[in-house]
Structures are given as C-alpha cells and as structure tokens.
Amino acid sequence: MITVYSEEHRLHDGRQEFHRGKMHPCFERPERAEWILDGIRQRNWEIREPDPQVSLQPLYRIHRPRYLSFLETIYDQWSLVHPQDDAIAHVWSCRGHRQIEPESIYGKLGYYSYDAGTPITAGTWSASLAAVRTVLTAQQLVHAEARGVFALTRPPGHHAGADFCGGYCFCNNAAVAAEAFLLDGLERVAVLDVDFHHGNGTQSIFYDRSDVLCISLHADPAEAYPYFLGYRDETGTGPGAGFNVNYPLPTGTAWDAYSKHLLEALAVLRAYGTTRLVVALGVDTCQQDPISGFSLRADDFARLGELIASLRVPTLFVMEGGYYPAVGQMVAKVLAAFDAA
C-alpha cells in the first residue's frame, strides 16, 4: 500500500492543551507521525510526497472562506501581543449570545473553535494545508484505480467543521477527500470513522446531504469527548435524513462488542452501494491509548483491516487519532490485512 506523507506536519507543534483544570503538554505532537512512519517503514511500503499542484477546490467547498482566512492569519495577530504563547480561546459563544465574528483576536478564537485543547501555533496553517495536500494526493491515487491508499495526515481532521476547529483538528481531511471524490464525478461516497472519538466535524459538514454517507463507531458522548454530538438518534436532516449513522459504545468496549457494530456498519455501507470509502482511521481505540477508553488489542486491528477489505470498495485511509508509541504497529496491521484480503 502506498503512503502519502509530508514532513511539513512538524510545523504544527503545540506546547500545551487545557484539560480538566490545568495545562498539559500536547498529546497531539509531531512525534506521533514518527511513530506512525516507523510502522510503515517496517513493512517497506512506498512513501510518496504530496503533489504540490493538487487542486485545493475541495478544501474551499468544505470550509468557509472566512474560517480559512482566520486559520491563516490569527497566529500572526496573536503573536504581536503574545509572542511567547500559542493562540488558544478562553471564551466561547453560547445560547442567547450573538453568533458573530468579533474584531478582537480573543473573540475570533472563541467564534472559530469549541475547546481549549487545540492550540494554534506559528506553523499550524502550513501544516494543516500540507495535510490537505497529502489527503488530496492520496485521493487522486485512489481515483486512478488504486485499491487502497494511506494518507498519513497530521494534524488530524474529523473534529473540524465547516467553520470551526477543535479536538486537535483544523481542516477536515476526510471530508475534503470525500468532496474530492464527488468533484471527480463519483456518487454514493461514504466516510467510515473508526476513531475512538466521535467525528463531530465530519457529521456536521454532511448532516443535510445524501451524497456522503457518514458512519461512525465511537465512545458514547454521554461519557466521552466531544460530549455534545455523536448520539444514536442523530440520523441526518432534510435531504440528508438517513445518511448519518452513529454507533455510540460504552467505555471499555472490546473487539467482541465492537466487531458486532462494525459488521452492522458494513451492512449499511453495502446497502448504500458505496463506490468509494474514506476511512477516518483513528487507532486510539487500542487498550494502550492514554486518553481513550476502549480495549482493542493489537490483533483486532488486523481483523479491522480485513473486515473493511471485505466491502471490496476502493478505500482511502486517513490518519486520525492514536497517542501511544505503538500507534504505527496498529496502523500497519490494519493496512496489511486490508492489502492481503
């Protein structure tokens, strides 16, 4: 399997995230990509750089222009006042407040984000754009008839919405790739999100659309991040009614229960007539993950790759979460089993 990877991800290097009353070193750090690359290199798979000429049209269709200019410019404005610190919001809009983009940098940060775990650094915009080029280059390879391609994206994407960042995510790489398949003339595109956390950004982007089916298996938001989205009764709206499927699972879920729901998800993908699949591949479902609560074991990741392959649909794997050194081993198990099936 080909991996597309850019070392520009390193430009996004947040110092700290706010969590449960104090600042902690960021879990989502450049080292993660090294861990993932280790797993890929051990298998001797080809690693390619993103095409610098790849069209960014799908990015502009997924994200609002004003949000993209916010991402591009906010750190420069912030650093004039706080040159030693990353940009991070400390105030957000809520019920009864105006939904407006204030002039103040603090107001803008609150308007375009939803948590305090997602610092914006000097290189966040460049790294995010490199991740988008990475996923779009990989998408082009799948479009040109590759059966499976891996986009080693960092920062991750599935929590980013049309006009907000959060959950370590800035641009929604998986959503951008799904949009690219549609722009290439395909129909019945689907996103299968297997990250531990619900992909609230992806769901919100496609919630009223029938051209991208979104299916997600994740920790029950009643007990886990992102808390405010990802419940079972969220099934889509308007023309998108029936095109969003959530499988919220309890803390401690292991392969036995997980795989039952995965088989259901695969049946939905089959019934839809999926032509191209984007897998939001988080491996933070592993028992080893320091910030998550499922109990998948190493060999379960091979089963995961095998089951995804059983769909027999050209598949783009997009990296999401996974915060422990063996993350590359789990990713490689998924991809190798997919290839072998």
The catalytic site residues sit at 159
Distance CA 311, CA 313 (A): 5
Q: Is 14 in the site for ligand OKP (CB under 6 A)?
A: no
Q: How far is the CB of 271 from ligand OKP (least distance, A)?
A: 27
Report the partner that residue 19 touches, choosing among ligand OKP, Zn ion, none (CB closer than 5 to 8 A by kind).
Answer: ligand OKP
Q: Is 39 in the site for ligand OKP (CB under 6 A)?
A: no
Q: How far is the CB of 172 from ligand OKP (least distance, A)?
A: 12
Based on CB atoms, which residue is closest to ligand OKP, 116 or 132?
116
Q: Is 193 in the site for ligand OKP (CB under 6 A)?
A: no
Based on CB atoms, which residue is closest to ligand OKP, 170 or 225?
225
Tokens representing 118 are 């997602």
Show contacts with ligand OKP in window 195-254 (CB under 6 A).
195, 197, 225
Based on CB atoms, which residue is closest to ligand OKP, 156 or 305?
156
Q: How far is the CB of 304 from ligand OKP (least distance, A)?
A: 16
Burial of 181 (0-12, 13-18, 19+ CB in 10 A): buried
Based on CB atoms, which residue is closest to ligand OKP, 8 or 284?
284
Report the partner that residue 168 touches, choosing among ligand OKP, Zn ion, none (CB closer than 5 to 8 A by kind).
Answer: ligand OKP
Burial of 188 (0-12, 13-18, 19+ CB in 10 A): middle
Based on CB atoms, which residue is closest to ligand OKP, 27 or 338?
27
Q: Is 86 in the site for ligand OKP (CB under 6 A)?
A: no
Residue nearest to ligand OKP (CB): 321
Q: Residue from 321, 329, 333, 338 that binds ligand OKP (CB under 6 A)?
A: 321
Report the partner that residue 70 touches, choosing among Zn ion, ligand OKP, none (CB closer than 5 to 8 A by kind).
Answer: none
* Spatial contact of 328 and 36, defined as CB atoms under 8 Å apart: yes
Based on CB atoms, which residue is closest to ligand OKP, 16 or 79?
16
- Where along the sequence are the contacts to Zn ion (CB under 5 A)? 195-197, 282, 284, 321
Q: How far is the CB of 200 from ligand OKP (least distance, A)?
A: 9
Q: Is 119 in the site for ligand OKP (CB under 6 A)?
A: no
Q: How far is the CB of 88 from Zn ion (least distance, A)?
A: 19
Q: Is 286 in the site for ligand OKP (CB under 6 A)?
A: no
Chain contacts with ligand OKP (rule: CB under 6 A): 17, 19, 27, 117, 156, 159, 167-168, 195, 197, 225, 282, 284, 291, 320-321
